[in-house]
Structure 1
Amino acid sequence: MRTSPTLLLACAVLLAACSSSSDSTGSGTSSPAPTPAADNRGGIPPGYPLDVDVVAPLAITTIGPDPIPVTGTDGKVHVAYELSVLNSGPRPATITKVDTLADGPDGAAVATIGQQETVERTILIPNLSPAPVTEIPAGRTAVLVLDDVYDSRGEVPADVTHRLAITLGKATPEYQPSVSAQYPDSVTQIGGAVRTSAAAPVVIGPPLAGDDWVAGNACCVVSPHRGAVMGVGGRLNGSERYAIDWLRIDPAKNPVTTHTGDGTRNADYLAYDAPLLAVADGTVAVVVSDNRDATPQVITPDQAFKELGGNYVIIDIGSGNFAFYAHMRLGSASVKVGDKVTRGQVIGRLGNSGNTTEAHLHFHVTRAPVPLSSDNVPFEIDRFTFAGRLDGARFVPEAKPSERTNQLPLAWDVIDFPPAP
């Protein structure tokens, strides 16, 4: 969570410890390992020839779990995921085109992005300040942030892979003698095979009540959330893929504002101290409530890793899903670990603690009771009103606000939730 397109909005990159588990049978015995499928390609991935060696400087792999398709407020089905692209060659690489191919290297292209959008969707690791990348230096890893969009769930392929068109720049002097003979000026590579999950998004209730909430840094554009691909929990993880920074605006102002007065006090912010609601029945798994609120528009320097989320609550909402609420007000948590909560119950108050620039709720759903190490999965909110969207700092209202069910608010949507129970 960091900043908005024009408004200075709040964000934080949240980091946390990992957890692991192992399964065992009641008898203490283990089943024999399945026989691996025969590899008749000698380990060569599909899309590459078996009769000649092909220079392939980019190692293209998939990050994270099989993506779960989710319906957004645009009525489309979004499949969001990331590719890791390691440039193992001596020449800087520029990706000029990416085709998403259904059902293997010879399949039809179901999505294509050109060079400009590829630049906008590419970030270098480490990415503490995500920014568009025009080329991947030799020896560096980039992350390609993708969002394949379909008209319906039935159109989503079970499997996709990717075809990347790549140009290679000039190598450093020590590599020059061999580069011309071994590395061409351009290559086309296949990689990043993705299996679409058959699972459905978790359906939840609203985390907030009332009108004029903005889905800051939400899916599926490139943002500090999509850019929060980090080494945590023993892997490179898209830790905030579907996270939302909920801010509150005054839509009557043009440009819109998130505060009254000069915005130097937390109490000036329209979101501050709003009640936070349990999105489902569940059990409280984690409570942190002793971090002070930060000064608005100031990032606190040298924060410890565990303090980046500020005060937060994690609720086990069942079926292996955990709801994470970050940046809560100091001492405001009204629940404790082990408490049973019901949907709509107030669990605390919205604040400005941790790595944040202004009062907001960072909310996402994970598969373990830690903020960032676990799989970040999509969710749909079962009831809200779509009021419009922010275009920069300008509110563009819907001609007729519409009731929505089971949709994921997308980036910079303006949402009205039902009033507090």
Structure 2
Amino acid sequence: MHHIKLYLTAVILIWGCRTNAQEYHTTFDIRVLHPPQLVTIDGKQSAYYELFITNFAADTLAINKLAVFNGLDSTEVLSLTGKELLNQITPVGQLTFERKGVLYPGLSAILYLELSISGGQTISHLSHLLEYSFLPTESGQVRTVSGASVNLLSQSPTVFGPPLKGGPWVALYEPSWERGHRKVIYTVDGQACIPGRFAIDFMLLDEQGKYAKGNNDQITNWYGYGLDVLAVSDGVVIISKDDFPESPTLSDHPKIPAEKATGNYVCLKIDSGKYVFYEHLKPGSLRVKAGQRVEKGEVIASLGFTGQTTGPHLHLHLADRPSPLGAEGLPFVFEQFGSLGTYTDFGLLGKTPWTPNKGNRQFLLLDERPGPNTVVKFD
């Protein structure tokens, strides 16, 4: 009798475990490509980072919602649904979605996140929750998966001096651009990287917002062409490439492969794991060589039109390795610059003046990164 009681107790316990346990489903693998780091943009603490999502299920899954939580107090700091969510999702490779946000079995995608932190919030850790459904939908049942918990990098962003003189310079970038630097991934030595995560392209304008005088097919007519490029910090030159030819016109500029996208460039080491890249430089203008020490503010080259570019400008970014493609882009700020306004409609660049700040005032900003398509002046 004693043995029967033990047997019945065991059966009840096992049955209870089964009824209380959640049904297991193979779903998404969610990973953070590179730990985020806070940087001040337009006066707000912001973090740019990416979630790499792979569907390991045997079913097609549709992403319906993403929520990001502050790991310190579990408050929701970002929620994306609908079109706002789908615009942030990009498939990996040439496969296309039946519709955005739908991942077939084995398909991967990258979800690009631009997080703005409200004033007074303290965030050092983030967690993520994906809401999804199976397709075809059988009962409209929605499921969730949590993961990709990540600690924010604690160090402050690197502070740069001016890379150029005067202005007005438009700081060209926009996280949402389909083929902007933010969304271009390279694989080097078996590792996927986003070197241009925080890249900015600087183009000189006149007061009417035009970037060239007269025929803009002639690169020498562009206002910024040939102007001095400056060292943003003390450092040591790691790479100095000055053998790339330059087309005298936009129309004759050849198609350039990714491995030569930089054109003539300088890589400047300013600290351990911090390398500044200056790209598209004018042939014969480089004043520095590998191994040479430079001082902040020193002229290192001239703005040009070499490599993968649609017009003369300076491409500037900071990375964690001395490789143009095989490195992760890091955030940086400028010690100071004047903000004149912005191009809220990028299609108006070169046609009309920018939208000025309220009261047509110039704001002096300290230890900040220019906002997308902001027009700035340097000392």
TM-score (norm 2): 0.85
User: 2:194, 2:327 within 8 Å by CA — same for their partners in 1?
Assistant: no
Once the two structures are superposed, what CA deviation does each residue of 1:109-137 show, in whole Å capped at 9, x if it has no partner? 111122211111111113799xx944334
* Range moving further from structure 2, 109-118 or 346-355: 109-118
Give aligned-pair identity as a percent: 27
Q: Partners of 2:365 and 2:157 in 1: how far apart? A: 16
* Aligned AA (2:356): P
User: 1:75, 1:151 within 8 Å by CA — same for their partners in 2?
Assistant: no
- Residue 199 of structure 2: aligned partner: 243
Quick check: which has more Rg, 1 or 2?
Answer: 2
Which fold has the larger relative contact order, with Cα–Cα distance below 8 Å and residues 6 or more apart in sequence? 1
Q: Does 1:405 align with 2:366?
A: yes
Q: Partners of 1:414 and 1:138 in 2: how far apart? A: 45
Change (3 A) 1:233 1:299: farther
Work out which of the residue numbers 322, 330, 334 in structure 1 matches 2:275: 322
Q: Does 1:67 align with 2:36?
A: yes
Change (3 A) 1:414 1:297: farther
Change (3 A) 1:298 1:166: farther
Q: Partners of 1:56 and 1:284 in 2: how far apart? A: 49
* Aligned AA (1:108): T
- Residue 369 of structure 1: aligned partner: 322
Deviation for aligned residue 1:249: 2.1
User: 1:299, 1:355 within 8 Å by CA — same for their partners in 2?
Assistant: no
1:239 aligned counterpart, secondary structure: coil
Q: Does 1:163 align with 2:129?
A: yes
Q: Partners of 1:404 and 1:320 in 2: how far apart? A: 27
- Residue 300 of structure 2: aligned partner: 347
Change (3 A) 1:196 1:296: same
Work out which of the residue numbers 77, 85, 89 in structure 1 matches 2:53: 85
Q: Does 1:192 align with 2:148?
A: yes
Once the two structures are superposed, what CA deviation does each residue of 1:355-412 show, in whole Å capped at 9, x if it has no partner? 1111111100112211232221111100110111012115101121111111011210
User: 1:82, 1:238 within 8 Å by CA — same for their partners in 2?
Assistant: no
Q: Partners of 2:238 and 2:134 in 1: how far apart? A: 49
Deviation for aligned residue 1:57: 2.0
Unaligned runs of 5+ in 1: 1-49, 171-178
Q: Partners of 1:410 and 1:233 in 2: how far apart? A: 33
- Residue 4 of structure 1: aligned partner: none
What's the C-alpha RMSD, in Å, of the aligned pairs?
Answer: 2.7
Which has the larger strand fraction?
Answer: 2
Deviation for aligned residue 1:164: 1.3
* Aligned AA (2:262): G
Q: Does 1:102 align with 2:70?
A: yes
Deviation for aligned residue 1:250: 2.6
Q: Partners of 2:75 and 2:226 in 1: how far apart? A: 51
TM-score (norm 1): 0.77
Which has the larger helix fraction?
Answer: 2
1:391 aligned counterpart, secondary structure: coil
1:406 aligned counterpart, secondary structure: strand
Once the two structures are superposed, what CA deviation does each residue of 1:249-279 show, in whole Å capped at 9, x if it has no partner? 2342xxx332222321111222211210000
User: 1:386, 1:401 within 8 Å by CA — same for their partners in 2?
Assistant: yes
Change (3 A) 1:241 1:313: same
Unaligned runs of 5+ in 2: 1-19
* Aligned AA (1:118): L
Work out which of the residue numbers 72, 79, 99 in structure 2 matches 1:112: 79
- Residue 307 of structure 1: aligned partner: 260
Aligned pairs (5 A) from 1:134-173: 134-152=101-119, 155-170=121-136
Change (3 A) 1:288 1:127: farther
Deviation for aligned residue 1:156: 3.7
Deviation for aligned residue 1:291: 0.7
Deviation for aligned residue 1:223: 5.6
* Aligned AA (1:59): D
